[in-house]
Amino acid sequence: MKYIDIHSHLDFKDFDLSREDIISEMKIKEIGTFNVGTSLKTSLNSIDLASKHDNIWSIVGIHPLYSNESRLEDFDEIEPLIQNPRCVGIGECGLDFFREANDQETKVRQLEFFEKQIELSLKYKKPLMIHCRSAYTETLDVLASYKKSHPELHAHFHFFTESIETAKIILDLGFTVSFTGVITFAEQYQDLVRFVPLESVMVETDSPYVAPKSVRGTTNNPLNVIEIANAFADIRKDNREDVAEALLQNTKKVFGL
């Protein structure tokens, strides 16, 4: 394996006609991916997909925006999935107050689901895949509180586009971040890309979303992780091959591959 896209949704219907072809080409190019669940259903799909392909691993959990249509009892079915050897993390979970920022009931429910997944992360010693939008203060407060009594807790912030100041808080907690195809076309993140230490970074596509510059407007897929890794190296003026190897080793270390 030369590259691992640490966040994709290959089980989504967007790939129903192309999934097997993409996975076959990924194997040829030595690309792996973490297929990330957003609900009980997609977590089940994720485990199923990972069980069929040795270059795919699963992350299972409930996305904050799906908490209103999910039940806490769903974790009774998700918990056995966490114990599957093809599962490497829990999520994507966290807080998202962007769409329903003034709905206190939704905030409370999201927090309840988030804390449940933190507890599962600690129980099974698997890292969290964090989704956070318009809620960094609240998310980091919760994680910092758990980190004090559970220093082994690890949280990975996917699709990171926040400030350097926020990055410092995340890094000080010992957590990691990943960059998407956004860095291939949005110049405002170059200082952030240069700031984060190489040992704290991974790359992702968040397929089928946010395709990188060369294929903007198309359905994104894990094959495009190479372009993202190259952009990351180029922005930092680092050797592409050295960076690719470092990103791979970071992923293996954090997710226990």
Tell me if 88 sits within 8 A of 59, measured CB to CB. yes
pTM of the predicted model as reported, rounded to 2 decimal places: 0.96
Question: How many other C-beta atoms are found inside a 10 Å radius of the C-beta of residue 211?
Answer: 22
What domains sit in the chain, N to C, each tagged with a CATH number?
3-255 (3.20.20.140)
- Average pLDDT on 139-153 reads 98
* Alpha-helical regions (H) of 31-159: 40-52, 75-82, 104-124, 136-149
pLDDT at 104: 85
Query: What would the pLDDT profile of 24-77 be if each residue is shown by its tens digit?
Result: 999 999 999 999 999 999 999 999 999 999 999 999 999 999 998 999 999 999
| CA 68 vs CA 104, 111, 128, 153, 223: distances in Å | 12, 11, 20, 26, 33
* Residue 50 C-alpha from the chain's centroid: 16
Query: What would the pLDDT profile of 178-206 be if each residue is shown by its tens digit?
Result: 999 999 999 999 999 999 999 999 999 99
